[in-house]
Amino acid sequence: MIQHSSSRKPPLALIVNADLPSRLSMTAALAKVDFKVNEAVNGEEAIILFQSDNPDIILIDAHIPEMDGFEICAAIRALPSGKYVQILMITETDDTNAVERAFKAGANDFIAKPLNGVMLGYRGLYLLRAAQTFYTLNSRERRLVKTQKRAQLAYWEFDLTNNIFHCSPEASSLLGLTDNRQLLSYEDFLAPVINQEYMRVKEEINAAIQEKTLFGISYQISLPDKTLRHILNRGEILFDETGNAEIIVGSIQDVTDLKYTEEEIRQRAFYDGLTGLANRMLFMDRLDHELSLAKRKKQHFALLFLDLDQFKRINDTFGHHVGDLLLKNVSEILQRCIRHTDMASRPVSNSSDALLARLGGDEFIILLPDINEPDNAAIVARRILHEITAPQPLEGHEISATTSIGISVFPVDGEKAEVLLKHADSAMYHAKGTGRNNYQFFKESLNVEILERIDLEQNLKRALERDEFLLYYQPQIQLSTRKIIGAEALIRWVHPLKGTISPNTFIPIAKESGLISDINNWVIQTACRHNNKWTQGGFGPIKISVNLSGHQLANQNIIQIIRDALQENDLEAKYLEVEVTESMLTQDNEATVWILQQMKDLGITIALDDFGTGCSSLSDLTTFPLDSIKIDHSFVTKCAKIKSNLLVIKAIIAMGHCMGIKIVAEGIETKEQLNLLKEFGADEGQGYYFSPPVSQDDFVKLLTKGSL
């Protein structure tokens, strides 16, 4: 039993796994946290080793030939000594059915593959501690039951043959029922059970009768004064000489205090006692999860490592009691800061919440999941620096605190938990070395980048006022005739000091700062004005495609912007095309469909840009009112060399034409590419083979030629 093994050094783990490499890696992980390990390759061997060696914990792989992990778990639980041993079931990722089977078989916990060695070690230590806790609780529970039995307390009996129920006065009192002088029924006995557990309790007792087994059920009852108590109800079925269930005898006890003890143990295991925040163990578990998620989804996240400046001086001057109060206040401030984080570029869906933990002393750490740019972490850091400096009245003293913050970003600053923590810690010390009350990224280059982004954002706000934007146009060609039938309008920013700034640099900043709506407005107005000018010059109206950027088109009032631009420039709607990306289609499906349909009602055409690089499905193409699909240049530029690209292109063209959608190929650079695309049936194309993006004056010269 656990009692005998509690003094064993080191503790013993039994690994049950048919796969040798898995056993070796699990053994190594547990050895790092001082476990001795026995190994079994099948159920028969596992049961023999369990009975002979009495391990502290057992780790069982769910998928073992012949006798699987769930059967092995149930078999061990059925042994006299198998009731309290801690069992960890190893399942496949996201296999919820396996998790449910594991718990039904008697497992205490589960862990999904692929296994992380560090996390497996922590789980082993947690199971070991839980084993000791459960043994202590069980010993206490057994003593209570013996005391009650010796004093004939909380006794009840149900004669199934004659349908007569009886319970002791102590049981009646415990359940908040009338005293035992009034005859009580079995239904009266179960009446205090809270509604959501009532049917479960009845079904488990009925199942015990059918299976002729002992039962032990934990549930909550509601007393007449509305207080809730936890009850442990244990019973045994007595049978007559023919084997029919005759009487149920049982005892009940109030285990509320034990439940509170369990919860207290859990709180102490995963939460900081002073602030109530997550502790290091819980944080490392979440960090490990976030690493797996970020790697799978190719996301970025940041760690903010905080240390209060000169906290020792505050403790020494005002006393540890005041220091503790300050730590509590700081934890509340940090929670508000991350709760109200307004990271505009962070996706709303499929993202985890930020996590705040206290690592110990005056050290805190924040996990910011799924950030698009390092500046998202800097936004939070700046808010924290501002909020914490406010004077705090504590025990009659006005105390002002500051903090130094170090930031590391996954994956640029590391791909392992310990590396990211170390780098965030190093950056924090660098922040202290640069004068305290500031934040620093692990890499100095990121600090420079953030400053440049802030400067760029300020300049971007003035760029529209100073008329620093230009529209360039790349001709769109009808492949069968080589005739210019339209152009894609591409914005350029010509900064008076920095020169030409790429849209890849300033468009993300415009999205985050909320300037994208004004930029979209300028692009649409300018493109319509130029098209009208070309018409007045005798070239005839052509279709101009504009790219719409930014989140939540509905919030940009985009329909009114388009309507005004068409009216002010006397341009028919059919000569304006709007290009949207796959990512924009997935932001808010219903709202996006509504916006695009309004555009169609105006008479403008809609193109899906960069098709093939996002996550559009066939259902997306049928849901959204698209007129054309633009095959991304990454497929086109290598179509002559990579066979798979040709297959993708052919499939896109065939699919689009079947749906009545026009196909436009981007990035055509060679004659060979042009011939292949014409052969496969692409309708239109653009690329450097015809012309790079050019100024409006140079585009007029191309219009003069008429074809390329």
DSSP assignment of 462-510: HHTTTT-EEEEEEEEEETTTTEEEEEEEEEEEEETTTEEE-HHHHHHHH
Q: Is the dihedral of CA 325, 329, 330, 331 positive or negative?
A: positive
What's the confidence (pLDDT) of residue 433? 74
Please tell me the CATH superfamily of domain 454-702, with its number: EAL domain (3.20.20.450)
CATH classification number, 2-139, choose in 3.30.56.10, 3.10.310.30, 3.40.50.2300, 3.60.15.10: 3.40.50.2300
Query: Who wins on pLDDT, 373 or 416?
Result: 416
> Which of the four pLDDT bands, split at 50, 70 and 90, describes residue 635?
confident
Please tell me the CATH superfamily of domain 152-261, with its number: PAS domain (3.30.450.20)
> Which of the four pLDDT bands, split at 50, 70 and 90, describes residue 6?
very low
Q: Would the pLDDT of 316 be above 80?
A: no
Q: Over range 558-574, report the average pLDDT.
A: 91
CA distance linking residue 197 with residue 229, whole number of Å: 13
Q: Is the dihedral of CA 341, 344, 346, 350 positive or negative?
A: positive
The pTM for the full model equals 0.45
Q: For 143, how many CA atoms within 13 A lie in the half-sphere containing its CB?
A: 7
Do 469 and 463 contact (CB within 8 A), yes or no?
yes
| Highest mean predicted confidence (pLDDT) among 139-153, 235-249, 616-630 | 235-249
What's the confidence (pLDDT) of residue 145? 52
Provide the mean pLDDT of the chain: 85
Structural element, H or E, at residue 231: strand 228-239
Residue holding tokens 């219903």? 590
pLDDT digits (tens, 9 = 90+) for 17-76: 999 999 999 999 999 989 999 999 999 999 999 999 989 999 999 989 889 999 999 999
Instruction: Please check whether the domain covering 273-442 is classified as CATH 3.40.50.150.
Output: no
Identity of residue 486: G
Task: Calculate ∠ Cα 168-170-173, nearest 5°.
Answer: 110
DSSP letter at 352 equals P
Tell me the domain boundaries of the chain: 2-139, 152-261, 273-442, 454-702
169: preceding bond cis by omega (within 30 degrees)? no
Residue holding tokens 């066979």? 643
Burial 261-289 (b: 16+ CB within 10 A, else e): ebeebeeeebbbeebebbbbebbbbbbbe
User: Would you give the end-to-end CA distance of the chain in angstroms?
Assistant: 86
Q: Over range 152-162, report the average pLDDT.
A: 78
What's the confidence (pLDDT) of residue 152? 41
Long-range interactions of 671-678: CB distance < 8 A, separation 24+: 672/640, 673/636, 673/637, 673/639, 673/640, 674/479, 676/639, 676/640, 676/646, 676/649, 677/479, 677/636, 677/639, 677/649, 678/479, 678/480
114: preceding bond cis by omega (within 30 degrees)? yes
How much helix, strand and coil, in percent to the nearest 5, is found in the chain?
A: 45, 25, 30
Residue holding tokens 């130029």? 530
> Which of the four pLDDT bands, split at 50, 70 and 90, describes residue 340?
low
pLDDT digits (tens, 9 = 90+) for 466-495: 999 999 999 999 999 999 999 999 999 999
412 has which bridge partners?
none
Q: Over range 379-390, report the average pLDDT.
A: 91
Q: Would the pLDDT of 346 be above 70?
A: no
What's the confidence (pLDDT) of residue 2? 38
Strands of the sheet with 228-239, listed across from one edge: 164-167, 155-159, 245-254, 228-239, 215-222
